[in-house]
Structure 1
């Protein structure tokens, strides 16, 4: 797995300015585009929602890449990720502005498809990352890790922490989130196949909102007094759940794992609320997405399986079946290594 410790530190600093962005630029007055030398490559990042630490980090990675190849970066997005169609106005605006590329983490696999395809018809290259749409709605998907690998990593972690038996629940993001639902389905299959003594008793949704996720954690413990563990495959959810558990009677009794960032989770690992959790490097994910978008804009790749392109410091990547590019495997953070990372 390409896990760039050196660059992570830079990304943490860059994330402070990630949401400020730069003004997007369209084509030149003579109709030239960035891809034919008519101007800078204008690439807009559209996360599920603004103010999310995970996307602050991933989009800062994208901004760094765009600076490296001389393009123009902008970040736009809704304040909340709970509206499946909430990203549509931002897609429409980006297309009207004539941006060359749009990098999107989809809140819903179908709700934004029409808008994305209209943007593509207008010449915008569309790359999804973190959470995909229907493949017919984009040119490439930058996959942080395989869905199977992410699901298995989280199940393995919770199984180890609860002695491979007991009741567990899932605290997810939005009910329509493509990646979340895929992971949950695969976690259910993994539990059934390989962990017969673990029972998944509930799946609840915090909508990637801190307070909602905090309240859902409290409700889970009230509804399931024998709960042994919680899996939260969302950075907002796992940190909110950890915050609740850290001051509750359940601390040290109810295990918590999932997907989080080191800076969010450090205090909860060090105080014993959380033993271990997983993630990939979100800065690398955004960085890779930006370089893939550049390759599409410049015509170096078309999104067909077998296409290869260079992604700056990360090296060469190959497009796989279904128009996807795989970043790497999940990484497990624990007390022994968490201070090695800063994002």
Structure 2
């Protein structure tokens, strides 16, 4: 049962103060971050035949509230939550690197006694103390887009297989540069869990002998800020004049890089790929700056995160590997460490980009 006493609120206030103080120190220890083991689960066993509860409150905490990508994802989440007969609530920071702000919002949602929290984590460990407190008080916790350590949530809704995303971005760029030349990566924040996982798989893919003539010369960070990403792109090209291609696995980064390239002497000469939205990238595909890039449908990601959160709060799943649940018309199976994969990414190019409007 959810604790609703004044004693609980007072105790939580102390926890909030400690968590914020620890985050402000600029580091997360292993003890404060939680263990790296399997995902935490809600109390009791899953009942796949349990009725879907109505009247729940599901709080969404995106990585950045003014980011068009997360706006689209959270609209999908809102639609799903309301379709299921519950209440959607979005909170969050305007910065993609404000981890202390995310901690504060998690604690606020816990104080408000929501039934589930769906969060895109800015850091894998910084939110752990707050999220574990939420789970202790009966709140289902789902991460989406960017994960925490597995022990700090019930399930992670992944936009696609991390390995697929990392490897396919290298494959796309390699084809465009003829499997030869210097390349760079323009990422978001250095602590972004999803970005770092994809980059690890990019590096693994580059070990294949067929990429022997491709050299990764630098990984730069634009912190999911358009101006910083624009400047980082400019800096990469000044520092590496022989650069042949850039991979930017962030929607803010790839758009900013395309903006710079389209107005420079490098347009058409330095290839750019990564993860972007059709609406952001359409003009750059049509003017020849970008040949192809990829992404999943963020609205579908938000939809699945919402349905996973409601399934957890309804007791239909606990986050254990092998459990199945129905989200809309599709049945999903929870994988290792509580991971639920949305599906394969879509490649966008001049032939198909006008078929998409997100």
TM-score of the alignment, normalized to the shorter chain, above 0.5: yes
Distance in 2 (alpha carbons) for counterparts of 1:113 and 1:181:
18
Matches within 5 A, 1:1-12: none
Distance in 2 (alpha carbons) for counterparts of 1:152 and 1:134:
22
Give the 3-state SS of the residue equivalent to 1:73 in structure 2: strand
Offset at 1:85?
3.2
- For the 8 Å contact 2:301–2:342, the answer to whether it is kept is yes
Distance in 2 (alpha carbons) for counterparts of 1:153 and 1:39:
40
Match among 254, 266, 271 for residue 282 of structure 2: 266
Distance in 1 (alpha carbons) for counterparts of 2:186 and 2:334:
32
Matches within 5 A, 1:31-50: 40-50=55-65
- For the 8 Å contact 2:52–2:310, the answer to whether it is kept is no
Matches within 5 A, 1:36-185: 40-185=55-200
- In structure 2, relative to structure 1, the CA distance for the partners of 1:247 and 1:263 (3 Å cut) is same
Equivalent pairs, count: 310
The equivalent residue for 1:324 is 339
Distance in 2 (alpha carbons) for counterparts of 1:103 and 1:193:
37
Offset at 1:193?
2.0
Distance in 2 (alpha carbons) for counterparts of 1:216 and 1:86:
25
Offset at 1:283?
0.7
Pairwise CA RMSD: 1.6
- For the 8 Å contact 2:52–2:311, the answer to whether it is kept is no
Q: Are 2:227 and 1:192 equivalent residues in the alignment?
A: no
Distance in 2 (alpha carbons) for counterparts of 1:261 and 1:38:
34
Distance in 2 (alpha carbons) for counterparts of 1:39 and 1:254:
52
Offset at 1:86?
3.0
Offset at 1:36?
9.7
Distance in 2 (alpha carbons) for counterparts of 1:335 and 1:85:
41
- For the 8 Å contact 2:229–2:252, the answer to whether it is kept is yes
Distance in 1 (alpha carbons) for counterparts of 2:287 and 2:77:
33
Match among 257, 279, 282 for residue 295 of structure 2: 279
Offset at 1:83?
3.1
The equivalent residue for 1:239 is 255
Name which of structure 1's ranges 78-87 and 151-160 shifts more when overlaid on structure 2: 78-87
Distance in 1 (alpha carbons) for counterparts of 2:66 and 2:288:
27
Distance in 2 (alpha carbons) for counterparts of 1:114 and 1:60:
28
1:278-323 Cα offsets, whole Å, 9 max, x none, are 111111111011001110001011111121111114x111111211
Give the 3-state SS of the residue equivalent to 1:296 in structure 2: helix
Distance in 2 (alpha carbons) for counterparts of 1:226 and 1:129:
37
TM-score using structure 1 length = 0.88
**Any unmatched runs of 5+ in structure 1?**
1-25, 28-34
Q: Are 2:240 and 1:205 equivalent residues in the alignment?
A: no
Offset at 1:84?
3.4
Offset at 1:38?
9.1
1:29-70 Cα offsets, whole Å, 9 max, x none, are xxxxxx999971100111111111110111111011011101
- For the 8 Å contact 1:140–1:323, the answer to whether it is kept is yes
- For the 8 Å contact 1:85–1:108, the answer to whether it is kept is no
The equivalent residue for 2:244 is 228
TM-score using structure 2 length = 0.84
- For the 8 Å contact 1:84–1:176, the answer to whether it is kept is no
Give the 3-state SS of the residue equivalent to 2:246 in structure 1: strand
